[in-house]
Amino acid sequence: MAQSRITLAAPDAQSLGLPAFDDVVSYIKVQRKPTVHSLLRAADASGRLLIQPRCGVGAQETMKDLLIQLEHKAMPDVLTLTIDSHTRLLRFDTARNVLVADPRQLNGYPLVAHGWKLAREIDMAVNAPIEIRHGSPDPRILFDVALAAGFTSFEGGGICYNLPYCKDVPISHSLACWRHVDHVCGALADQGIIVDRELFGTLTGVLVPPSISLAMTLIEALLSAKEGVRCLSVAYCQSGHLIQDVAALRAIRVLASRHLPAGVEVYPVFHEFMGVFPAKRHNAEALIFFGALTAVKGRATKLINKTYDEARGIPSVQANISGIWTARMATSRLFDAVALPEDEIAEECDAICAEVENIVAPILSAGDPYEAAVRGFASGTLDIPFSANGHARSRVLPMRDRSGAIRYHSFGGLPVSQEAQRRNHALLQGILTETGFDPFTKLQRDIAHFGKLDESD
- The pLDDT value recorded for residue 16 is 80
pTM of the model: 0.95
pLDDT at 290 over 90: yes
Whole domain around residue 76: which residue ranges?
A: 18-332
337 occurs within a structural domain:
no
Q: How confident is the model over 309-357, as pLDDT tens digits?
A: 999 888 999 999 999 999 999 999 999 999 999 999 999 999 999 999 9
Angle at 218 between CA 445 and CA 374, to 5 degrees: 90
Residue 66 lies in a domain: yes
Question: What distance in Å separates the CA atoms of residue 93 and residue 199, rounded to the nearest whole number?
Answer: 28
In the predicted model, what is the mean pLDDT of the chain? Answer: 94
Mean pLDDT of the region 141-168: 96
Taking residues 377-391, what's their average pLDDT?
Answer: 96
Catalytic residue among 88, 133, 400, 407: 88
On whether residue 122 sits in a domain, the answer given is yes
Q: What is the pLDDT of residues 87-126, one digit of tens each?
A: 999 999 999 999 999 999 999 999 999 999 999 999 999 9
Q: Please report which helix (H) or strand (E) contains residue 46, including its range.
A: helix 36-46
Among this protein's residues, is 299 annotated catalytic? no
Mutual orientation of helices 210-226 and 242-259 as an angle, nearest 10°?
30
CA atoms of 171 and 158, how far apart (whole Å): 7
Nearest Cα to Cα of residue 303 among 452, 387, 202, 396: 202
Per-residue pLDDT for 221 more than 80?
yes
What residue type is 374 in one-letter code? V
Q: What is the pLDDT of residue 159?
A: 98
417 found inside a domain: no
- The DSSP secondary structure of 231-271, one letter per residue, reads EEEEEEE--S-HHHHHHHHHHHHHHHHHHS-TT-EEEEEEE
Q: Catalytic annotation on 328?
A: no
**Residues in Cβ contact with 354 at an 8 Å cutoff, skipping those fewer than 6 apart:** 417, 419, 420
- Residue 433, CA distances (Å) to 122, 386, 425, 436 in order: 57, 24, 11, 9
Q: What are phi and psi of 268, to 5 degrees?
A: -70, 135
In a domain, 168, yes or no: yes
409-445 confidence digits (pLDDT tens): 999 999 999 999 999 999 999 999 888 899 999 999 9
Catalytic residue among 41, 133, 155, 285: 155
Residue 196 is inside which H or E element, if any?
Answer: strand 196-199
Number of domains in the chain: 1
Torsion, Cα of 136, 139, 142, 145 (10° steps): 160
pLDDT of residue 26: 95
Calculate the alpha carbon distances from 31 to 24, 131, 337 in Å: 11, 15, 40
Residue 117 counted as domain residue: yes
| CATH (domain of 285) | 3.20.20.240
Whether residue 357 lies inside any domain: the answer is no
Provide the CA 234 distance to its chain's centre, in angstroms. 7
Please indicate, yes or no, if residue 73 is contained in any of the structural domains: yes
390: number of Cβ within 10 Å: 13
pLDDT reported for residue 456: 74
